[in-house]
């Protein structure tokens, strides 16, 4: 009787934040369910963006997180990279030899309002005039200012726990904040859903392209691993994310572009894609809401949405923030 083949060691590259580690743990469980014999090793990967505490737009954006992991994957230091799809730039091609083989089932795409623990604020409308709201997202900034032009948006970065400490610490934290806007999916992943006071519906704050989606990437020639990862792919998520990503690519959008996009599959199987591009203060915007009569062609829907947005002046908003 022949012996079983030796268990494979699988090295997963990850950032070192609690959020990234939680996501890695989630993927590890999914992989072990497919193959309990896998020996999975977590490899911490530091990036230039992780060491930078200022505005990411001056360093290459959140795409630096992706770049650091992809470099380690390409060199063979790791076997698998996990990416939050919303952090993957739309204007930069994959490194040679790498391939995204799976999109996990999408988590909650919505944004949430978080306030200090003992605050009586329940909704955005409850915040006082001129309230200071923390977010480093240009997409959130523009849409919050559309809803409440009086708000003072404070650029706040860092791990979710660090941002919550700033919010709860007040003057002791040297930053005065009345609220934060964070991803609902991230709060859930960290067991912090109780901190959300208001969860914004998507017609209030349109999500980021790829929001709530974890993507799995490996080397193209690693066909055995690719075959394993493909079993984790969620087809509907892939279809919807494809429409959003093609729209982003058509706009040549990057991680610091004021772009939002969200595709859903209707009960009839047809796709509906909403896209918006904003000026920094939200006063000018381009928008498109398209429905596909060809449910199996999400790329065509995304390309159509990009064309429609560009016809409304989206390029000027992305490049300069100039009003239409």
Neighbours of 155 (CB within 10 A): 14
Residue 43, token pair as written in the block: 């490899």
From 87, 91, 126, 281, active-site residue: 87
Relative orientation angle of helices 18-34 and 160-169, to the nearest 10 degrees: 140
Helix (H) or strand (E) holding 91: none
Contacts of 303 (CB under 8 A, 6+ apart): 246, 247, 250
CA distance linking residue 172 with residue 9, whole number of Å: 46
CA distance linking residue 112 with residue 130, whole number of Å: 19
User: Are the beta carbons of 62 and 137 closer than 8 angstroms?
Assistant: no
Residue 90's nearest CA partner among 210, 243, 249 is: 249
- CA angle 262/267/270 to nearest 5° reads 60
Residue 75's nearest CA partner among 9, 13, 6 is: 13
Q: Which CA distances in Å does 90 have to 214, 253, 262?
A: 16, 5, 15
- Is 108 catalytic? The answer is no
Query: Catalytic positions, please?
Result: 87
């Amino acid at each position: 009787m022949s012996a079983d083949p030796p268990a494979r060691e699988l090295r997963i590259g990850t950032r070192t934040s609690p959020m990234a580690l939680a996501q890695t743990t989630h993927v590890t469980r999914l992989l072990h369910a497919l193959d309990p014999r896998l020996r999975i090793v977590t490899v911490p990967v530091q990036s230039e963006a992780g060491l930078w505490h200022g505005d990411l737009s001056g360093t290459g954006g959140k795409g630096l997180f992706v770049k650091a992991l992809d470099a380690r994957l390409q060199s063979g230091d790791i076997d698998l990279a996990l990416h939050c799809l919303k952090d993957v730039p739309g204007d930069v091609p994959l490194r040679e030899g790498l391939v995204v083989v799976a999109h996990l089932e999408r988590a909650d795409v919505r944004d949430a309002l978080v306030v200090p623990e003992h605050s009586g604020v329940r909704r955005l409308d409850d915040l006082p005039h001129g309230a200071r709201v923390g977010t480093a997202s240009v997409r959130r900034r523009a849409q919050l200012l559309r809803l409440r032009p009086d708000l003072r948006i404070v650029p706040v970065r860092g791990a979710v726990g660090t941002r919550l400490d700033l919010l709860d610490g007040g003057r002791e934290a040297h930053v005065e904040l009345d609220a934060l806007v964070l991803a609902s999916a991230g709060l859930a992943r960290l067991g912090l859903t109780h901190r959300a006071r208001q969860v914004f519906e998507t017609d209030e704050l349109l999500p980021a392209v790829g929001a709530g989606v974890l993507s799995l990437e490996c080397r193209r020639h690693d066909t055995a691993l690719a075959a394993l990862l493909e079993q984790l792919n969620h087809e509907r998520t892939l279809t919807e994310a494809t429409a959003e990503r093609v729209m982003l690519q058509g706009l040549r959008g990057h991680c610091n572009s004021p772009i939002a996009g969200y595709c859903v599959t209707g009960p009839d199987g047809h796709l509906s894609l909403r896209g918006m591009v904003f000026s920094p203060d939200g006063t000018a915007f381009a928008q498109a809401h398209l429905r596909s009569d060809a449910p199996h062609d999400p790329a065509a829907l995304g390309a159509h949405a990009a064309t429609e947005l560009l016809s409304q002046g989206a390029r000027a908003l992305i490049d300069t923030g100039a009003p239409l």
